[in-house]
Amino acid sequence: MNTVITFGTFDVLHVGHINILERARAKGDHLVVGVSSDKLNFEKKARYPVYKENDRVKIIKSLRCVDQVFIEESLELKAEYIKQHQASVLVMGDDWKGRFDHLSEFCEVLYLARTPSVSTSEIIEIVKSI
């Protein structure tokens, strides 16, 4: 089995999330998604997600392109998650380009282009201004 793994917060789900998850799934025959914990999201972005981690996990699990979901507790554990899930490919958005190249000793590392003109942070700012 060719397992692909990817990670993200997946807060305020939008077409960019769907696009990258579908494209990640196309790189293998089993897609595992690590959803950032609320705590990890706060450490990365200095804000908590709009949706709690259990709700975000449920949303991502419901997508037909996703086979398995777990909560990512730490950015530093990516190698462990790759090994645990026996992933042969790591897919990340190109906004992370180069940041995970060191994991190529465990699996192929691919950075996919993000969907232009859509981001969760921008959506949140628009909603706040209304």
Catalytic residues: 44-45
Residue 77 tokens, joined: 């554990």
- What is the C-alpha separation between 59 and 111, in angstroms, rounded? 23
Other CB atoms within 10 A of residue 46 CB: 7
Cα–Cα distance for residue pair 44/126, rounded to 1 Å: 21
**Residues linked to residue 70 through DSSP beta bridges, in sequence order:** 34
Sign of the alpha-carbon dihedral angle for 63, 68, 74, 79: negative
Listed residue (92, 91, 12) closest to 47, CA to CA: 12
Helical H segments across 10-52, by residue range: 15-25, 38-45
